[in-house]
Chains A and B, each alone.
Chain A
Amino acid sequence: MSIFEYAPAPESRAVVDIKESYGLFVNGEFTSGAGTAFKTVNPATEEVLAEVAEADASDVDRAVKAARKAYDKVWGPMPGRERAKYLYRIARIIQERSRELAVLETLDNGKPIKEARDVDVPTVAGHFFYYAGWADKLKHSGYGTTPLGVAGQVIPWNFPLLMLAWKVAPALACGNTVVLKPAETTPLTALLFAEICQQADLPPGVVNILTGAGETGRAIVEHPGVDKVAFTGSTDVGKAIARAVAGTDKRVTLELGGKAANIVFDDAPMDQAVEGIVNGIFFNQGHVCCAGSRLLVQESVADEVLERLKRRMATLRLGDPLDKNTDVGAINSAAQLARIRELSEAGEAEGAERWSAPCDLPSSGYWFAPTLFTGVSQAHRIAREEIFGPVLSVLTFRTPSEAVEKANNTPYGLSAGIWTEKGSRILDVAGRLRAGVVWANTFNKFDPTSPFGGYKESGYGREGGRHGLAAYLEGGQA
C-alpha cells in the first residue's frame, strides 16, 4: 500500500441549490408540464436529486410557438452585434457560476468533478464566447447570413451541458431560436442554464428547455413548426429521426455513435501513448461517442504497451465523483450499466480475455471498473458494437495498411487516434482513415474552433468551428 494515502478531498455541495421539483422552461418562464413528472438521481449514490416535469405534445407545441414568435419578432430581426452581446453575457455568467455548474453536473451525471470543472464547464463557456464572436461576422462564414428559424435539439446524457452549448451557441449566433430537450437522466444543468438565460435577460422564447424522455424528443423532431433538427445520441435513434424528417423540408444534423480506433505504432512516444489510451477510453467513464474504444497496437510492441497500460490503469482512482482526486466516476444509469455488463459478458463468452483494474466498487450507485479485453478479433461484438463504457478492446496489427484496414472496418467513423513519432506516417494514415476527427499523438481534445462530426453511421453535419455555422444558416446545406 502507498505510504501516503490521499485523504478524502470532496468538493462542497453547498454551492448548488437543487429544488425539489422543476418545471419546463417555455417563453422565458418556468411552467408546469402536462406529462408525468419523473425523478432524476445521482448515479453515484442512487439518491433522488429532484423531480422533473415531462413535456407532452401540447407542451412541445407551446414551446415551438414561443420559439417561432421570438424568432419572428425579436431574435431573427436583431442585428448580429446585439445577439453577440447576449451570448457574451451568457458566457461570462457561465464562468462566474462555473463551480455551481460543475458540481451540479457531477451530481446528476456521475462524472468526476475534476473533469466537470477542468473540461466540461470551461469548454461550455468557450463555445459561447467563440460563437458570440461569429454573430456579427456571418457574412464571412461562407454560408450567408440567413438563419433557418426554429431549431429542435435533442441531446444526450454524457456531456449534458457541453452538448447543450454545442447546440445552442451556434444556433443563437446565427439568429435561430431553439427548443432543446436534455436527456431524461441528466436534466439539471440544462435547467440551471435556463436560469442563466433569465439572468442574462435573454428575450423570452429564444431558448426553451423541455424535459422528458424519448416521446418528448419525438414530438419535438416531428413538430411541423420546427425548421431544423439537431441530435446527438445513439445511432438507432438517429436513424429513426432521419426517417421521421424524410420528405419534409427540415434540415438535420446527427452526431451519433462511434467505435474509434486508437492506433499505436511501434515508434510511438510510449508513455504519452499510454496516457492517450487511458484518456481515450476512461475519460468520462468511456461515455464518449468519440472514445478510443478499440486499441490497435502494433504487434511488436503489444506486450510492452499492455504491461504499461495495466500498470497505469491500476493507479486510476475510482469512487466518489465529488472527490477532487477521483479519476473515474459512476456509470450514468442502471440501464447503461446493464448494457456495459451485457457486452462485457459477450466479450468473455466469445473468447476474449478480460482484465479489470483492481479497485473497490462502492456498494451503492452504478459502477464498473476500468476494463480491457485482449485477444479480441474484428468479429467479436466488443470490437464492433459501441459499449459506451470504460471497456477497451485490444487488437493488434503488423503493418500500417493493416492498421488502416482494421480501423476503417466498422460501420462508424467518428474519430481515430494515431501515435507515432514519424510525421509523414501521421499524414499518410490520417488521410486514409474514414473518420471525422483524427487525433495525432493526443486524444479526446476538444476546442470550440475545431469542427467535429462523423462519417458513415456516426452521423452527418459538423459542430464547432466555422463549419458548425453551416447547420444553422440557409447557405449551409448539410
Chain B
Amino acid sequence: MPTISTPGVGWDFSDVTRSDAALRRFLHGLPGVDQVGAEARAASLGTRSIKTTAKEQALDLAIRMVDLTTLEGQDTPGKVRALASKAMRPDPTDPTCPATAAVCVYPDLVGVAKDTLGGSGVNIAAVATAFPSGRAARDIKLADTQDAVEAGADEIDMVIDRGAFLSGRYLEVFEEIVAVREACTQGERSAHLKVIFETGELQTYDNVRRASWLAMMAGGHFIKTSTGKVQPAATLPVTMIMLEAVRDFREATGQMVGVKPAGGIRTAKDAIKYLVMVNEVAGPDWLDPDWFRFGASTLLNDLLMQRSKMRTGRYSGPDYVTLD
C-alpha cells in the first residue's frame, strides 16, 4: 500500500524519477485530498479576525510580497516603466511604505524593466516557456527562457505542460522543468524558477498535490497556482494544498520551496486571509517575500489604501493611489 512520503532529510529522488511508471507510482501514492474537508478548512482559516497591530504588519508584509504584474498584449515600454516606478515606491507620499518584491512582465520587456529598476532591489520576473498555454516545442520554450535570463530577469515564471500532465506523462513534465531550470543559468547569471501549474486546468486537488511534488522534485524554487489567464485562478483551498506540499517537502528533504498564488487576489482582506493560511498551514518561516509571493496587478492599490487608512484613520479613496 503506497502511503505517505516521508523519506527523510537528504532523500534522493532518482529512484522515483527513473521511469514514468516509478514517478506515477510515487505521485499516485501521495495521500489523497478530500475536497469537502479541504475547502472547509480553508474557509475556517478565512474567518480569522486580523486587527490593529496585526493588520498593520500584515499589510506591509503583503506589499513586500507582491509581484506587480502586467501581462497584456498591449504592454508597452511606457507601461512597464510606470509599473517599475510604482514597484519601487508604491506610495509616493509615504517613504516608509516598502517596495514590492518584483515586477512581472513578458520576456521582451525585461530590458525596459531593468533600466528603470537598476539596483533598487526590486526583482524582475519574466514569464517564459510559451506562457500562458505552454503549447510550443521544448527548444522554443528553452530559448524563451534563455532570452529572458540574458535580458536580466532574476526570476522565471514557467508554465508546465498541462496536456502532458493530464495525459499522465509525468516524466515528460518533470524533465521539462529540469531543462528549464538549467536554462535559468546563463553564464554568471542564475534566475530563480517559479513553476506555474494553471490549477484551473488541473481541476482536482489531487492533481495539484501531485504537480506540487513533481515541480519540487524537479528543483523549482517556487510553485505557483496560475497564469491569471484561466478561471478560476488562485483560490484559498488550492493555495492551502500547495502550502501543505511545501511543508511536507521540507519535512522530507530539509529544503524550502516558495508558494505564489496568482490571479484573482484583489483585496487586502483576501491577501490577509492568505497570510493567515501561510502562518497556520506552512508555518511562520514562509511569511517572507523569499518564500511567499502574490501575483497581482490590482491588489497593490487596495493594500495601499488600507495601509493609509490604518495610518491616518481616513479612507482616502481610489483617486489617491496611482493608476498604472
Q: Footprint of B on A, CB under 8 Å? A: 1-9, 114, 118, 266-272, 275-276, 300-301, 304, 315, 324-325, 421, 441-442
Contact = CB atoms under 8 A, between A and B. Distances in A.
Nearest to B209: A271
19 contacts: A2-B284, A3-B61, A3-B279, A3-B284, A4-B57, A6-B50, A7-B50, A9-B49, A267-B31, A267-B32, A269-B31, A269-B32, A271-B37, A271-B41, A304-B3, A324-B47, A324-B48, A324-B49, A325-B48
Which residue, B32, B33, B48, has most C-beta atoms of chain A within 10 A?
Answer: B32
Given A7-B50, A269-B38, A301-B4, 6 more contacts: A6-B48, A7-B52, A8-B51, A269-B37, A421-B34, A441-B37
Given A2-B279, A3-B57, A272-B33, A266 B3 contact: yes
Given A4-B54, A7-B55, A442 B37 contact: yes
B160 interface: no
Given A4-B57, A7-B54, A442-B37, A271 B244 contact: yes
B210 to A, nearest CB: 14
B275 interface: yes
A383 to B, nearest CB: 25
Given A4-B61, A4-B275, A441-B36, A267 B50 contact: no
A304 B287 contact: no
B32 A421 contact: yes
Nearest to A315: B280
Given A267-B32, A304-B6, A6 B47 contact: no
A163 B288 CA distance: 46
B237 to A, nearest CB: 11
Which residue, A6, A8, A421, has most C-beta atoms of chain B within 10 A?
Answer: A6
B54 A301 contact: no
B23 interface: no
A315 B4 CA distance: 22
A87 B275 CA distance: 43
Which residue, A4, A267, A441, has most C-beta atoms of chain B within 10 A?
Answer: A4
B1 A275 contact: no
Nearest to B3: A266
Contact of B37 (A3, A4, A275, A304): A275
Contacts of A300: 1, 3
Contacts of B32: 267, 269, 421
B36 to A, nearest CB: 7
Nearest to A300: B3
B257 interface: no
B129 to A, nearest CB: 30
Given A4-B57, A4-B275, A266 B1 contact: yes
Contacts of B37: 269, 271-272, 275-276, 441-442
B267 to A, nearest CB: 18
A6 B33 contact: no
B53 interface: yes
B58 interface: yes
Contacts of A7: 50-55
A134 B93 CA distance: 63
Contacts of A1: 284
Given A3-B57, A301-B3, A118 B51 contact: no
Contact of A269 (B6, B34, B52, B280): B34
A268 B36 CA distance: 14
B7 to A, nearest CB: 12
Interface in B20-77: 31-34, 36-38, 40-41, 47-55, 57-58, 61
B269 to A, nearest CB: 14
Which residue, B31, B38, B279, has most C-beta atoms of chain A within 10 A?
Answer: B31
A270 B4 contact: yes
Nearest to A421: B32
Nearest to B247: A311
A271 B248 CA distance: 11
